Amino acid sequence: MRFVRQTVGGLPRTFWMLFSAMLVNRVGAFGLLLLPTYLTTARGTTLAVAGLVTGAYGAGGAGGTLLGGVLADRWGRKATYLAGTCTAAVLMVGLGLARPIWLIAVLAAATGLAHSLPGPATVAAVVDVLPEQDRSRAFNLQFWAFNMGGAVAAALAGVIAEFSFLALFLIDATMTAVTAVLVWRLVPETLRRDRTEVAGPRRLFPINRARTPHAADRPAPGGLGVVLRDRVFLTFVGLTFILALLTMQGQSILQLAMEGDGLRPSAYGMVVSLGGAMIVVGQLFVPRLIGARRHAVVLSAAFVLLAVGYSAVFLADRLWIYLAAASVWTVGQMLAAPPNASIIAELAPTALRGRYQGVFFLVFPAAGFVAPSLGGWSLQHLDAWHWLLCGALGLAGALGHLLAARRREARAAQIRRVDVTPQTTAEPALA
């Protein structure tokens, strides 16, 4: 296989193609953004049922994330990405046309699975083509693209929904298909198969036994069991699950609270757009602000801001209060994103990078199931007290990051010492 080095702005061309694909996909991410509102207004469900159906999307995503991590290592990053996006485009059309609630729930779960397949593959591909010193910047740019596209989508979705919910799903399907074409034509496969591996009863043994300076210390490649026995990593995953639960409040339950206060879908679109716009601007200077600080300190501060922001919804009954609360928790999200992405890269051995990414990304669809499923019930029965519970959860996460910091930093240092696989400094040519 030939490799070429093509960079733009100091980062490889492959990264910028993935960046562009994410931006296009997020701009058209209409369908699931307003799914709870669609269910309660167009389909006439209760808050609890809307939460459960929305949760089905997250449940499917949980399986899709694990599957995506495994397939990213076996099939390759590009094939996994294309499988997910092509399937999702078809399912979104079906979701928009479905009428029975049970069918909507089934299609939502299937769409969640398809949407989650590309996540681990995308992050693994970015790590494949970038040396460690460039990853924080790259992840920050990806976070920027994710939120830039989300801000545009939210602003448009709120307006479009007041005319046609079906249009939301059809536009979403079209943009997802466009993303698949971009990756198919412009993104090369980044998974390098430099060694042949033979399956054993408990682990994979590399045929090439050539020793490196630290070969004796290198952990043997293995399956998901190796990842699930890594307590330091799983502690980090658990704390990220809290972050994802809080983030999902703004993507699912918040719109139901605003609907209960008599606010229209366009008002919810304004709240989401404000958060996206803040991130677009803030991520230009956030890396410089937090670059010299310990990851644990930054993440703890981020959780405190999330706690304050969501607690403030307890008092919200007008649009400006929702906007103010969103401003606070958005700052927390901005602070959390770069160190979170850097930590997962630091804790994942090269041979198991896709599987580690798969388990890590599992927290987001899992939260996508738990947050609306329990949140719909909680909001229906506890009313505004739901938001104070969210605040308490955020404070618990802040403390957890401070307590877990020492062992996590020691593990990251150990991975750097024993993982002597050369960083990819070249980029594969387009096949």
Lowest mean pLDDT among 60-64, 182-186, 318-322, 383-387: 60-64
Burial 70-100 (b: 16+ CB within 10 A, else e): bbbbebbbbebbbbbbbbbbebbbbbbebee
What pTM was estimated for this model as a whole? 0.67
CATH level 2 (architecture), domain 13-191+222-421: Up-down Bundle (1.20)
Domain boundaries, the chain: 13-191+222-421
Q: Which range has the worst mean pLDDT, 34-43, 156-165, 374-383, 421-430? A: 421-430
Binning the chain into helix, strand and coil, the percentages to the nearest 5 are: 75, 5, 20
Instruction: Confirm if 320 and 270 have CB atoms less than 8 A apart.
Output: no
Cα atoms in the Cβ-side hemisphere of radius 13 Å centred on 89: 16
Phi-psi region for residue 383, left (φ > 0), alpha (ψ -120 to 50) or beta? left
- Mean pLDDT, rounded, of the chain: 82
Residues 6+ apart with CB under 8 A from 32: 57, 108, 111, 115, 172
Listed in sequence order, the residues at least 6 apart from 295 whose beta carbon sits closer than 8 Å to its beta carbon are 339, 342, 343, 405, 408, 409
Measured between alpha carbons, how far is 40 from 23 in angstroms, rounded to an integer?
29
Percent of the chain predicted with pLDDT > 90: 32
Out of 345-349, 403-407, 420-424, least confident range: 420-424
- Assign 9 to helix, strand or coil: coil
Q: What is the mean pLDDT of residues 39-48?
A: 86
At CA 111, angle to CA 234 and CA 25, rounded to 5?
90
Specify whether the backbone of 262 is left (phi greater than 0), alpha (psi in -120 to 50) or beta.
Answer: left
Q: How confident is the model at residue 198 (pLDDT cuts 50, 70, 90)?
A: very low
Give CA–CA dist 321/317, Å, rounded. 7
Give ∠ CA 125-21-286 in degrees, rounded to 5: 75
In this predicted structure, the answer to whether residue 377 has a pLDDT above a threshold of 70 is yes
Element (H, E) at 199: strand 197-199
The two structure tokens encoding residue 298: 């930054």
Helix (H, G, I), strand (E, B) or coil at 284: coil
- pLDDT value at residue 109: 93
Return the pLDDT at 219: 41
pLDDT at 194: 55
Q: CA–CA separation, 415 vs 427, rounded Å?
A: 24
Give the confidence band of 223 by pLDDT, cuts at 50, 70, 90.
low
- For 204, list phi and psi in degrees, rounded to 5: -105, 130
Q: How far apart are CA 37 and CA 25, in angstroms?
A: 21
- pLDDT tens, residue by residue, 3-18: 345 666 678 889 999 9
Cα 96 to Cα 105: distance, rounded to the nearest angstrom: 12
At residue 205 the predicted structure's pLDDT band, cuts being 50, 70 and 90, is very low
